[in-house]
Amino acid sequence: MQRSNMVESAYTASMPDTRLIAHVDMDAFYASVEQHDQPQLKGRPVIVGGSGRRSVVSAASYEARRYGVRSAMPMYEARRRCPDGVYLPVRMSRYREVSAQVFNQFRDITPTVEGLSLDEAFLDLSGVPGAEAPLDIGRCIKRRVHEHTGLTASVGLGPNKLVAKIASERGKPDGLLHIPAGQVREALDPLPVTALWGIGPRTRAALAAAKISTVNELRLAPDAILKALFGNQALHYRQMAAGQDPRPVAARAQERSISQETTFEHDLLTLGELEPPLRRLTEDLCRILRHEGLKAYTLVMKLRTPDLARHTRQRRFTPADHSFTSLYPLARSMLERWLMEHPGQALRLLGVGARDFETAGQLPLFEEGGGRDQRLEAVVDAAQQRFGSQALSRGVPVRNG
């Protein structure tokens, strides 16, 4: 596979780094996987997403981005902007497979890896052999990812998570950028305020009204202005503008969350209409938890109404679990209660997720002493892994009366 030109740069350090954090972001991940698996798509605008009238773009190749197509854009708008694009469905099982290969390479370099999504992670490289030469270890990360997946990644390196993420964004695509501790202010000061976490279009407009458009202007702004703009978060935003971020790279499973969601073609109103998609979502969630060897203590439900208002519900339980027979009744009761609290309210989106994990370890196919439900789920997992997610599924129980 021919690689794109890699952008590589560094700022000369005037003082040693106290930490070395990497932010690794795969380039147009879903679309790049599709181009890798189907080489005839290389160089063509590839858009991955659903086909329904309410579907959105999950990923767009860089060729598609030239037409203005972006992730989360409504699919109808993407087709208007790029009518000759290649539109493909989401293949989540394939993306998870490639993601596992990528994360295996990360963990071979450092055990301290914080996954943000399938295609994005922070790595704490402090004290790792080779960390004294940041660009060399950055090249190593990129090379290993490419050798094992055929894909490219952008790597940002810095003394903390904030700076590392800004560096990776500036280097995209297929870039490598190191911002040492001694040059953080020089690197960040000229950037627009939107380079900082939490500053979106609305906040940018409010800052612009106060004559603040760059990180430097935010860092030097009077306390009274920042207090009026951000309230008790004023100090936090000033520290970000100074490139300060004390957060550690959190490698524990408890820091993660896993979720599945679906947007309906038509709004659904009743529990009877919502039960089938809820079952499928919960089955998918449980299969992912078992595959990754995780048991959750908290089940989360996400609901979105036709007016786009978002609602969430969560329920903590013990012991931790990853079985459909345990999680689905909880999910169903959470949904039933929400519908009772919001009579006559339809839903356009439903999602279920899990967090607060204990590590369960990968389950063998027939674990000795395991119960009937556990053995059944192991069989279903094995069949779906070999023959596809539709190969075997649970039947819907028949209710008497």
Tell me the catalytic residues. 120
* Whole-number Å distance between alpha carbons of 64 and 248: 36
Residue showing tokens 């798509």? 41
Backbone angles phi, psi at 59, to 5 degrees: -160, 150
Rounded CA gap, 240 and 165, in Å?
12
DSSP class of residue 307 equals: T
Quote the CA–CA distance of 7 and 13 in Å, as a whole number: 19
Cis peptide before 364 (omega within 30 of 0): no
Give all strands of the β-sheet with 294-304 in edge-to-edge order. 257-268, 347-359, 294-304, 310-321
Pair 233, 223: CB distance under 8 Å: no
CB 360 within 8 A of CB 293: yes
> What does the block give as tokens for 388?
């596809």
C-alpha to C-alpha distance for 157 and 130, rounded to whole angstroms: 13
Using CA atoms, how far apart are residues 88 and 253, in angstroms rounded to an integer? 32
How far, CA to CA in Å, does 93 sit from each of 218, 292, 390? Answer: 43, 13, 12
Closest C-alpha to 286, from 373, 169, 396, 160: 373
Q: Which two tokens stand for residue 281?
A: 């979502």
**CA separation for the pair 192, 52 (Å, rounded):** 36
Helical (H) or strand (E) element with 109: helix 92-109
Q: 242 φ, ψ to 5°?
A: -90, 0
Polymer length in residues for the chain: 401
Please list the residues that pair with 358 across neighbouring strands.
Answer: 295
